[in-house]
Amino acid sequence: MSDSKPPIAFIGLGAMGFGMATHLVKQGYAVTGFDVWAPTLERFAAAGGLTATTPAAAVADKAFCVCMVATAQQAQSVLLDGPDAAVAALPRGAALLLCSTVPCDYVQSLDRQLRSLGRDDILLVDSPVSGGAARAADGTLSIMAGMADAALERARPLLAEMADPAKLYIVQGGVGAGSNMKMVHQVLAACQILAASEAMGFAARLGLDLARAQEAVLASDAWNWMFEHRTPRMLTQFQPIASAVNIIVKDTKIITAEAQRSGFPVPMTGKAEEGYREAVEKGYGQDDDSSLLRLYTEAGTGEAGESPAKTDEEKLALVVDLLKAINLCAAGESLAFASAVGLDLDQVLDLCVNAAGASTMLKQHGPGFIAALRQGAESKLSKAADGESSLNDVAESLQKALEEAERIKVPLSLGTQALAVFREALQSGTPQRSVNAVVNVWTSPSSQAANMEDAIRPHFFNHGLPESDPDEERDCHWCQIRSFATHKSIPITIVNDAEDDNEVLNPNFRFIDHSIIADDVPVAEDSFRTGCNCADDEDCMYNTCQCLDEMAPDSDEDKYDGSAAALPRRKRFAYHSSGAKAGLLRSRILMSREPIYECHEGCNCSPDCPNRVVERGRTVPLQIFRTDDRGWGVKCPVDIKEGQFVDRYLGEIITSEEADRRRAESTISRRKDVYLFALDKFSDPDSLDPLLAAPPLEVDGEWMSGPTRFINHSCEPNMRIFARVGDHADKHIHDLALFAIRDIPAGEELTFDYVDGLEEMDYDAYDPSKSKDMTVCKCGTKRCRGFLW
């Protein structure tokens, strides 16, 4: 070992870490390794490394520490929180290289923690890596490093030892920028790892020889790095295990969590995450991620009908078209996300085409995507060059592949999502425009929100200053939205990119995050209030929970002797309790108009009780946008699943008399009816409960409400309102909860039927004597009734 090379501490000797550490040993460094797995330490010692039994012992007297553990939680433990953690033992001025794939927020929080502990002398280097175990072992990794200048000067030689000379990327933006660069790269990895299995699964179900299918794809424009490196293990029973499914699950969660926090749509990555969750539920988590092939080869029921693809060449073309389309959408999603987080797009492209996220589609279209991102909305109009496939051509080729997949009953989830992306891109402009225009699907929501933030930034900067206007701050829609506790994680945004339309929200409207009960509205006495006494949260899913006493049973549970002790214990609550559908409304409830009964703050159960879905509130970001012909509308920048709770309809809860008075005062009474919703689910003039026997209360959301106030009507809606009851004493003021009644892809406008369940309205719409006085419906769906009321 050379005396001129400093000793190194290396924490985390997994598949990647072991290769990186042994490479440094071969380069003449004295490397002291730590890992929780004793056999790994024995292997490292046999490879010439030194070993330590604690992180603190590993870093003692070491000027450099490389941390290469699997998760942010593990990093926090070995560096700060766990027994014999490393940071306290690091000498002053040491460089700490965090090479793990972790969220940007975590790296920045680690930097803050070091400062709060008085260890700002430690030079933190945010330096995630990519390239796989083989490249780790030969020192040719791609490394994305963000850091302060002093840390760069100190750490660059060690980074250069572990990286390919052409693949050491110094990312501008300081600590956190390197992790953001890795995150947008992993968008490609997340999509293309699953895409490799989807393409090969499709090939298998088409009856193709997998080795031949592999060869055909590698020789085509559908090539990607992940396909090239995963398919060999698909041909050898998923051996050896090189990268477990759980690893990409972790990376994908980082992407979707950051996307949800920022309100940026990642439909392709979100769909990939669903596939990974399914694999984990099937027990594949510890298996090599090439084993995801089983999701496709073990699904479906076989052939049905005549296939238009007769020859192997025709079938191979379908596989190639499927993978090209997925690769294309993954490339667009990655670069658009990179733009949204402020990265240098040229540097991102250079990294990704030379790393594990590489694909022919990225190489061919990446420069065009970047040009489109910089050009903005004008890129939607650019036509395909002579000889180049148009956006419509790519979509039609993918459509043929999906039609064949449907015929043989094989689910191609990523391909289906890619087609949804193309269809959205085709909604504006000519079908013959350039494929590069597809990137606008991602840019519009986030760029509009950013532009609006920029427009009102001076207003926010003045808040709290002597020159600020208290009335302006109180009445500002943005201030109201940003005051909500959920703003950072699931924001509400407002955009208007409609041409020749400068409309803004009415300044008299006020955003609220809970309904306001008017002073003259009667409420139940405290003595009538009840809650369940369930011993633990799981009990709240069963018919023994008092909150579910009035929940309609799935079957006849009344055939017992009447004693509580004899009541059969059966699940009765409204939601799925486990698996990928946990927390989603069950199909029987979803297709009905039955009320939902939930636990509440007066119950013995915890806030995490599975029967408190609506009470916990909205879990998705929402965007209020300007439609072409129906004023304001609402959409969600992330996918919403069938049965998922979206939000409540909020407003001022008033008496029926007050509602009638407001209708009479409104210049257009029918317009007022758009915002008034009667709480009449439990109204009964013969009820013994005076609160239910009285005329029903109404919710007025015209001047104070949440984002759902702007949701438009549709005769073919994608959501439905359900009455939700917490404390049974408050039935007369039940919640109006909106649930998705089918899967809703990111960016699709959210709608519900304003007159759902009122069949007489359907009949009136076809009666000329009545329809002439009715409000015209503008939903434009195939089943449009023509009128509202």
- 413 vs 778: which has the higher pLDDT: 413
AA identity, residue 782: K
Judge whether 343 and 181 are in contact, CB under 8 Å: yes
Asked if pLDDT for residue 162 goes beyond 90, the answer is: yes
Distance between CA atoms of 126 and 213, rounded to whole angstroms? 40
Strand 50-51 and strand 64-67: pairing?
Answer: unpaired
592 with 685, same domain?
yes
432 with 563, same domain?
no
Distance between CA atoms of 456 and 193, rounded to whole angstroms? 41
Distance between CA atoms of 383 and 783, rounded to whole angstroms? 35
223 with 348, same domain?
yes
Looking at residue 460, its pLDDT comes to 45
Looking at residue 431, its pLDDT comes to 58
Strand 751-752 and strand 712-713: pairing?
Answer: parallel
Asked if pLDDT for residue 777 goes beyond 90, the answer is: no
- Out of 649, 675, 763, 766, the active site residue is 649
Asked if pLDDT for residue 739 goes beyond 70, the answer is: yes
- 475 vs 39: which has the higher pLDDT: 39
544 with 487, same domain?
yes
50 with 143, same domain?
yes
- Identify the band that residue 472 occupies on the pLDDT scale cut at 50, 70 and 90: low
649 is annotated as an active-site residue: yes
Q: What is the pLDDT of residues 306-348, one digit of tens each?
A: 556 679 999 999 999 999 999 999 999 999 999 999 999 999 9
Looking at residue 384, its pLDDT comes to 62
With b for 16 or more beta-carbon neighbours within 10 A and e for fewer, the 550-572 pattern comes to ebeeeeeeeeeeeeeeeeeeeeb
Residue 133 sits at the vertex; the CA angle it makes with 130 and 139, to the nearest 5 degrees, is 75
Residue 284 sits at the vertex; the CA angle it makes with 279 and 285, to the nearest 5 degrees, is 95
Distance between CA atoms of 396 and 134, rounded to whole angstroms? 39
Distance between CA atoms of 277 and 272, rounded to whole angstroms? 9
- 540 vs 497: which has the higher pLDDT: 540
34 Cα distance to chain centroid: 35
| Rounded mean pLDDT, 585-605 | 91
Q: Could you say which of 175, 200, 221 is where a domain stops?
A: 175
- 372 vs 98: which has the higher pLDDT: 98
Winning range, highest mean pLDDT, from 327-331, 483-487, 770-774: 327-331
Query: Range of 197's domain?
Result: 186-442
Distance between CA atoms of 263 and 492, rounded to whole angstroms? 8
| Rounded mean pLDDT, 460-477 | 59
Asked if pLDDT for residue 304 goes beyond 50, the answer is: no
Q: Give the number of other Cβ atoms within 10 Å of residue 220's Cβ.
A: 16
Looking at residue 592, its pLDDT comes to 85
**Ranges 337-341, 412-416, 568-572, 781-785: which has the least confidence:** 568-572
Asked if pLDDT for residue 462 goes beyond 60, the answer is: no
Looking at residue 557, its pLDDT comes to 42
Domain at 329, CATH number: 1.10.1040.10
Residue 400: both structure tokens together? 């043929």
Q: For the chain, what is the domain count?
A: 3
Nearby residues of 36 by Cβ (< 8 Å), 6 or more positions away: none
Domain at 644, CATH number: 2.170.270.10
Q: Give the number of other Cβ atoms within 10 Å of residue 472's Cβ.
A: 12
Asked if pLDDT for residue 555 goes beyond 60, the answer is: no
Is 403 a domain residue?
A: yes
How many residues are present in the chain? 789
Asked if pLDDT for residue 457 goes beyond 50, the answer is: no
492 with 434, same domain?
no
29 is annotated as an active-site residue: no
Judge whether 698 and 724 are in contact, CB under 8 Å: no
Is 527 a domain residue?
A: yes
Strand 645-648 and strand 735-740: pairing?
Answer: antiparallel
Looking at residue 479, its pLDDT comes to 78
- Identify the band that residue 674 occupies on the pLDDT scale cut at 50, 70 and 90: low
- Identify the band that residue 562 occupies on the pLDDT scale cut at 50, 70 and 90: very low
Looking at residue 113, its pLDDT comes to 96
Is 229 a domain residue?
A: yes
Distance between CA atoms of 566 and 775, rounded to whole angstroms? 54
- Identify the band that residue 436 occupies on the pLDDT scale cut at 50, 70 and 90: confident
Q: Could you say which of 175, 203, 234 is where a domain stops?
A: 175
Angle between helices 38-46 and 15-26 (to 10 degrees): 20
359 with 490, same domain?
no
Is 763 a domain residue?
A: no
Domain at 147, CATH number: 3.40.50.720
Residue 221 sits at the vertex; the CA angle it makes with 219 and 224, to the nearest 5 degrees, is 85
Looking at residue 734, its pLDDT comes to 94
Q: How far apart are the first and last CA of the chain?
A: 86
20 with 136, same domain?
yes
Is 459 a domain residue?
A: no
Model confidence, pTM = 0.60
Is 761 a domain residue?
A: no
Nearby residues of 596 by Cβ (< 8 Å), 6 or more positions away: 551, 574, 585, 589, 614, 722, 723, 724, 725, 737
| Rounded mean pLDDT, 265-281 | 93
132 with 208, same domain?
no
- Out of 29, 169, 675, 754, the active site residue is 754
481 with 380, same domain?
no
Looking at residue 733, its pLDDT comes to 94
Looking at residue 668, its pLDDT comes to 46
226 with 358, same domain?
yes
Is 615 a domain residue?
A: yes
Asked if pLDDT for residue 303 goes beyond 70, the answer is: no
| Rounded mean pLDDT, 711-732 | 92
Looking at residue 26, its pLDDT comes to 97
Is 462 a domain residue?
A: no
Q: Could you say which of 149, 175, 201 is where a domain stops?
A: 175
DSSP H stretches of helix in 376-412: 391-407
Task: Give the torsion sign (CA, 73, 78, 80, 83).
Answer: positive
* Segments of 89-240 assigned E as strands: 95-98, 123-126, 129-130, 141-145, 163-170
Averaged confidence pLDDT in the chain = 87
238 with 129, same domain?
no
